Amino acid sequence: MKKNIAVIRGDGIGPEIVNQAIKVLDKVGEIFGHTFNYTDVDMGGCAIDKYGDPLPQDMLDKCVASDSVLLGAVGGDKWNNVPGHMRPEKGLLRLRAGMGVYSNNRPAKIWPQLASASPLKKSIVDAGIDFIIVRELIGGIYFGEHKTDDVDGQKQATDILTYSESEIERIGRIGFETAQKRGKKLCSVEKSNVLDSSRLWKKVMHHLAQEYPDVTLTDMLVDNCAMQIVKNPSQFDVIVTENMFGDILSDEASMITGSIGMIPSSSLGKTSCGLYEPIHGSAPDIAGQDVANPIGTILSVAMMLRYSFDMPAEADSIERAVSKLLDDGYRTADIMPSDEQEVKKCVKIGCSQCGQLILQRLTKG
Ligand code: IPM
Ligand code: MG
């Protein structure tokens, strides 16, 4: 098969991690007989520097015209003081909205080899951590009106949070369908004790539940959910939530699995053209040092193969190779164990070595 992939390396560690993911993808192509063509797209800080715009329209057009988009990370201190509408992150938000990818899927699964890297007590980790956060991605407070006014001699800032029934319904369906393919438990997370948008959210979810009788729907307030994720994560199968709650909870969920550097994500809308990115940021403090963990990006490529290209065997081969790498004791700095005895069993590796060792472990079956 031939696939055209738009590649956004972005800022900070973005180029390093994406280069490793492409190496792995090319090897998968070689083994399974596929051709992957890449189109470079500038987005984020590097696009601000080049064009004065974090995502020029022709760059967005290239993404929409592709079979899927692979993204590293955007942002950095250098662009912290530019106006809000010009920030590197604005490019990412425009990309998500422009592609119409309303459903962001973020798995929180502990790799058994990394159990000791989790900050949680062993008894909690041993109970199992394997859930998915389905995050609404192109609505809510991220996309409402943002403004700063002068009121009574001082600045007053406003960000508006809006959700319509249809926006809630389409992400709700993804939540139910995801649960149907897994443990059939869906937890809808909101703040219905305070917010109107959350009360509507809850109502729509319960209405939808009638169409999915095989799924058990529960509700949880977002503050309680933040607590439950560290207290008893094994209770969760699928969490469905709005944009900002999902942003915050998915960072928390990634941390309990050991490292945010390991977590991939997929974002999909109405078509099979998806956006695939690790959930971590651009980590400018370690950029260019070849120490970043490329596994979140490499696993994002596996998700692209599975969900957009219908290549499950190819996706399995990447996930198997990552598991084998961990079995063999190789660790990037972020997933090195803290225990001295454990450290002796591991070999510390850098970013490019990590990519190389994974591609050496790729097999067809
Ligand atoms: C994420 C990131 C982004 C978000 C930022 C970079 C805009 O934190 O993908 O989780 O908030 O969605
Ligand atoms: Mg985030």
- Which residue type is seen at 181? K
Which residue owns the Cα nearest ligand 1 atom 8?
A: 247
Ligand number with the minimum distance to the CA of 279: 1
The reply to whether 247 belongs to the active site is yes
DSSP bridge partners of 240: 134, 188
In degrees, rounded to 5, the angle at the alpha carbon of residue 14 between the alpha carbons of residues 13 and 15 is 95
Q: Is the pTM of this model over 0.85?
A: yes
Compute the average pLDDT of residues 267-272. 97
Ligand 2 ion: Cβ-proximal residues, 5 Å cutoff: 247
> How do residues 103-160 score in pLDDT, each as one tens digit?
999 999 999 999 988 999 999 999 999 999 999 999 999 999 999 999 999 999 999 9
Residue 225 clears pLDDT 90, i.e. is over it: yes
Q: Which of 53, 219, 251, 316 is catalytic?
A: 251
The reply to whether 142 belongs to the active site is yes
Ligand 1, pocket-test mutation among 138, 247, 263, 280, most atoms within 8 A of CB: 247
Ligand 1: centre distance to CA 181 (Å): 27
Six-digit token pair at 147? 């403004």
DSSP 206-240: HHHHTT-TTSEEEEEEHHHHHHHHHH-GGG-SEEE
> How do residues 67-105 score in pLDDT, each as one tens digit?
999 999 999 999 999 888 889 999 999 999 999 999 999
As a whole number of angstroms, the distance between CA 35 and CA 31 comes to 11
Residue 175 clears pLDDT 90, i.e. is over it: yes
Q: Are 5 and 65 in contact (CB under 8 A)?
A: no
Q: Are 355 and 20 in contact (CB under 8 A)?
A: yes
As a whole number of angstroms, the distance between CA 337 and CA 315 comes to 27
In ligand 1, the atom with minimum distance to the C-alpha of 75 is 6
Three-state DSSP at 113 gives: helix
* CATH for 119-256, options being 3.30.750.24, 3.30.930.10, 3.30.420.40, 3.40.718.10: 3.40.718.10
Ligand number with the minimum distance to the CA of 282: 1
Q: What is the dihedral of CA 181, 2, 23, 43, to 10 degrees?
A: -80
Residue 339 clears pLDDT 90, i.e. is over it: no
Which residue owns the Cα nearest ligand 1 atom 7?
A: 89
Ligand 1: centre distance to CA 72 (Å): 12
Q: Do domains 1-110+259-365 and 119-256 have the same CATH topology?
A: yes
In ligand 1, the atom with minimum distance to the C-alpha of 251 is 10
The reply to whether 26 belongs to the active site is no
- pLDDT of 365 reads 85
Q: Which of 42, 67, 247, 334 is catalytic?
A: 247
The reply to whether 251 belongs to the active site is yes
- Which residues have any ligand 1 atom within 6 Å of their CB? 75, 89, 92, 247, 279
Which residue owns the Cα nearest ligand 1 atom 5?
A: 89
In ligand 1, the atom with minimum distance to the C-alpha of 73 is 6
Q: Which of 3, 11, 27, 142 is catalytic?
A: 142
The reply to whether 223 belongs to the active site is yes
* Cα–Cα distances in angstroms (integers) from residue 125 to residues 70, 113, 268, in the given order: 31, 12, 30
- pLDDT of 338 reads 81
- Which residue type is seen at 223? D
> How do residues 1-23 score in pLDDT, each as one tens digit?
999 999 999 999 999 999 999 99
Six-digit token pair at 113? 């080899």
As a whole number of angstroms, the distance between CA 131 and CA 318 comes to 20
Which residue owns the Cα nearest ligand 1 atom 11?
A: 247
In ligand 1, the atom with minimum distance to the C-alpha of 137 is 12
Enumerate the domain spans of the chain.
1-110+259-365, 119-256
Ligand 1: centre distance to CA 295 (Å): 18
- Which residue type is seen at 52? G
Classify residue 267 as exposed, middle or buried by CB count within 10 Å of its CB (0-12, 13-18, 19+): buried
> How do residues 299-334 score in pLDDT, each as one tens digit?
999 999 999 999 999 999 999 999 999 999 999 999
Is 1-110+259-365 a domain of CATH 3.40.718.10? yes
DSSP bridge partners of 4: 37
- Beta carbons within 10 angstroms of residue 10's beta carbon: 29
In ligand 1, the atom with minimum distance to the C-alpha of 244 is 11
Ligand number with the minimum distance to the CA of 54: 1
> Mean pLDDT over all residues of the chain?
97
Ligand 2: centre distance to CA 1 (Å): 33
In degrees, rounded to 5, the angle at the alpha carbon of residue 13 between the alpha carbons of residues 89 and 129 is 85
